[in-house]
Amino acid sequence: MRILLFLTFLFSPFLASALTYDETFPNAQPYADPAVMAFLRSLDYKRGEVSIPGGQVELDVPDGYYYLGPADADKVLIDLWGNPKGDTLGMIFPSEYTPFDQESWGMTILWDPSGYVKDDDAADIDYPELLSIMKSDTSAENEWRRQNNYPDIRLVGWAAEPYYDQAARKLHWAKEYAFTGDDVNTLNYFLRALGRRGVLELNFIAGINQLEQIKAAIPEVAAIISFNEGSRYRDFVPSMDTVAAVGIGGLIAGKVVAKTGFLIVALLFLKKFAILLLLPLAWVWKKITGRRDS
């Protein structure tokens, strides 16, 4: 594994070669709407070794998945799925689905540069109490959502209780959300990989009915992630490196208490398949009904 410097690779090209739509989905039936196909063909699908901007993490994307870079991920998240603008470093999808398929689910990739997260609190967290705090925090965010024309959300509860793999330094848990006006609840499954200088965040966006699919995929997805030499959790140097303001419990709560005392609540990608304002109405209809050219 190469030693990669942050500034050297901040805007470096990805190591994986781009695949076309036809190469990625050789057996897919095309959508009848040409606007849908134009959108899907405009994306660069990647497999193999992908260097995440920042130079600390690499992904080895296997045949069962594909990766979209930051620009293409924004197209999916904002234009297609109706999310607010974020700072995603890309997305990973299972190969059997395009981002437009009704059954599709995907993972956003983000980097939290807060520093080295101590994990000595992992065995002592009161998860019922933590869930109660998170429900209150979610309710408090609804005022911002109303002001910005997003529907209210309610945290229903754990979809999968938190689990920390101390040997691999990876944490995962899942939450179930209810959006005002939606008949089906939304699943957010979270995977965190701890490194020397921060945390790689993978956020799964799916319907609650896809929970078992995602649980089954977790071991394979976790194995995709590797920190470069010098950036691994075990490379931490106490005299040189920054210790994060939170532990494992803080990662699960989704907020960081900065040293200045301010509370920063992370904006998560929660909503998928919203009405597409920039695309033909026929596209929306096909997305809702799942109809495609036979």
Specify the range with the lowest mean pLDDT, choosing from 3-7, 28-32, 111-115, 233-237: 3-7
Single pTM value for the model: 0.79
Residue 174: its pLDDT value, please? 93
The pLDDT tens digits of the residues spanning 49-102 come to 998 877 899 999 999 999 999 999 999 988 887 777 778 899 999 999 999 888
pLDDT at 8 over 80: no
Residue 116 per-residue DSSP state: B
Secondary structure of residue 171 in the 3-state scheme: strand
Residues 6 or more apart whose CB falls under 8 angstroms from that of 124 comprise none
Residue 255 domain flag: yes
Residue 58 contacts residue 67 (beta carbons within 8 Å): no
Burial 12-26 (b: 16+ CB within 10 A, else e): eebebebbebeebbe
Q: Write down the mean pLDDT value for the chain.
A: 81
Residues 103, 115: Cα–Cα separation, whole Å: 36
Please give the distance of CA 177 from its chain centroid, rounded to a whole number: 16
The pLDDT tens digits of the residues spanning 166-201 come to 999 999 999 998 888 888 888 889 999 999 999 999
Residue 1 domain flag: no
The pLDDT tens digits of the residues spanning 12-43 come to 434 456 899 999 999 888 888 888 899 999 99
Tell me what percent of the residues of the chain surpass a pLDDT of 90.
52
Residue 70: its pLDDT value, please? 93
Residue 7: its pLDDT value, please? 35
Residue 16: its pLDDT value, please? 57
Burial 222-234 (b: 16+ CB within 10 A, else e): eebbbbbeebbbe
Secondary structure of residue 139 in the 3-state scheme: helix
Number of structural domains the chain divides into:
1
Q: What range does the domain containing 26 cover?
A: 6-289
The pLDDT tens digits of the residues spanning 202-260 come to 999 888 889 999 999 999 999 999 999 999 999 999 999 999 999 999 899 875 333 22
- φ, ψ of residue 178 to 5 degrees: the values are -115, 125
Residue 294 domain flag: no
Q: Name the packing angle between helices 281-289 and 34-41 (round to 10°).
A: 80
Residue 155 domain flag: yes
Residues 147, 239: Cα–Cα separation, whole Å: 45
Residue 143: its pLDDT value, please? 87
